[in-house]
Amino acid sequence: MAISVTPTVRGTISLDEFISFCRANVRYDDEDSIMSAAEPLAALANDDMLLVNAINSDLFRSIENRGNARVLSTQSLLLHIDPIFKVRANIWKKPIERPGTPYHDNAVYSYEYAHNHNFQLLTVGYLGSGYWTDIHECSPEKIVGYIGERVELRHLERTSLPQGKVLLYRTLKDVHTQRPPEEFSISLNLIIGHPTGEVADQYNFDLETSTIQRMVSMPLGSYLSVLTFAAILDSRSNLDATVAVATSEAHWRVRLAAFQCSAILAKSEARTVWAKAVGDPHPRIRDAAATYLSRS
């Protein structure tokens, strides 16, 4: 079973009161502290005017013109942002059956998309019968983090998020696949990020093969962008720098990308580059080197 409760709280609290509670009580690495916010979150969700007032605020008026204010994605409205947590509302709609739109709507609402989060997410149903979700559990400490990696996923339950129900999606561990709701629904989310701002891997999984299908986010991804640019530009003058990155103490994925980029830039001397990778401390890099050297 996933972690869920249906608080019986009847009164309401304001957004400011909820924020104060979270600042004083909620900690990223303490699931009990996060669950202590379940009742206050449910009380916040009891406020019928919460979203109407938010939409009517000056901050949201700017959305009418620019559209990018205080939002995460097109189905989300950001109600508050603090250094380590955010409060947002998410809209959930049924995909419209027209050519092209199931794909489009699935992308907007992340339907049929098994993924974990690199943040703690406590959520409450605010309106409607809510989306459906299949929740699996993984052991993040056992994951190396590469496309195609086999990951043990244990099915916990299929559940929904009707008005008043609170669900906790544990950071990294819970893998969920959203399914469309039966009616227009809205949820409120409390999102708690790592206090240091550290970004852990976040994955999209293929449930049929129980493998990692795509990286949703990863540390030092910007390094990978630059290394890709360098590989495309194919200028040998960048070789010293890319080899230096490859042999640095950067994350193993950055080092692997730097070895691959260096091998492209080195052209006929690619073998020399991969020879340096043989002694890398990370097995994925040693495997890549061995594969290349055995073929060439």
Partner 1 sequence: MATLDERFYLDPKNSGRFGTLQSLVTSIGRSSDSTEPGNVSDWHSAFCALLRSRELEVAIAEILVALSRECPFEPNWMSALAEEWFIADGPRFSLRAFVAKPANDTVFTSLPYDCLVGNLGPAVHFTRHKFPPDCNREVFERGLRLQRGVFEELTPLQSVVFSSATDAPEYLVTEATLLVELSLKAWAPLVWVFDTTEKSALMCTSSYEAPVRNHAVAESLQHLASKRGAPMEPSLDILKRLTFNKHHHVRWRALQSLCALDFEVAKPYLLRARDDPHPLVSDAARKAAQRLAIT
| 272 binds partner 1, rule: CB under 8 A | no
- Rounded Cα distance, 36 and 133, in Å: 23
Stretch that binds partner 1, among 20-28, 168-176, 218-226, 283-291 (CB under 8 A): 218-226
- Residues with Cβ within 8 Å of 22's Cβ and at least 6 positions away in sequence, in order, are 37, 40, 82, 85, 190
- Rounded Cα distance, 100 and 117, in Å: 28
| 24 binds partner 1, rule: CB under 8 A | no
- Of 217, 278, 279, 291, which one interacts with partner 1 (CB under 8 A)? 217
- Of 6, 25, 101, 272, which one interacts with partner 1 (CB under 8 A)? 101
- Of 242, 251, 274, 288, which one interacts with partner 1 (CB under 8 A)? 242
Q: Which of 197, 149, 142, 207 is nearest to 175 (CA)?
A: 207
| 6 binds partner 1, rule: CB under 8 A | no
Handedness of CA 144, 145, 147, 153 (dihedral sign): positive
Q: Are 277 and 259 in contact (CB under 8 A)?
A: yes
- Of 14, 20, 53, 291, which one interacts with partner 1 (CB under 8 A)? 53
Q: Are 204 and 233 in contact (CB under 8 A)?
A: no
- Of 49, 97, 196, 268, which one interacts with partner 1 (CB under 8 A)? 49
- Of 16, 32, 98, 196, which one interacts with partner 1 (CB under 8 A)? 98
Residues of this chain, 159-188, that bind partner 1 according to CB under 8 A:
184, 186
CA distances for 243 relative to 49, 202, 218, angstroms: 58, 27, 22
Q: Tell me how far, at minimum, the Cβ of 9 lies from partner 1, in Å.
A: 17
- Rounded Cα distance, 271 and 292, in Å: 8
Q: Tell me how far, at minimum, the Cβ of 185 lies from partner 1, in Å.
A: 9
- Rounded Cα distance, 50 and 60, in Å: 13
Give the residues lining the site for partner 1 (CB under 8 A): 48-49, 51-53, 55-56, 60, 63-68, 71, 74-75, 77, 91, 93, 98-101, 104, 127-128, 184, 186, 199, 215-218, 220-235, 237-238, 240-242, 244-245, 248-250
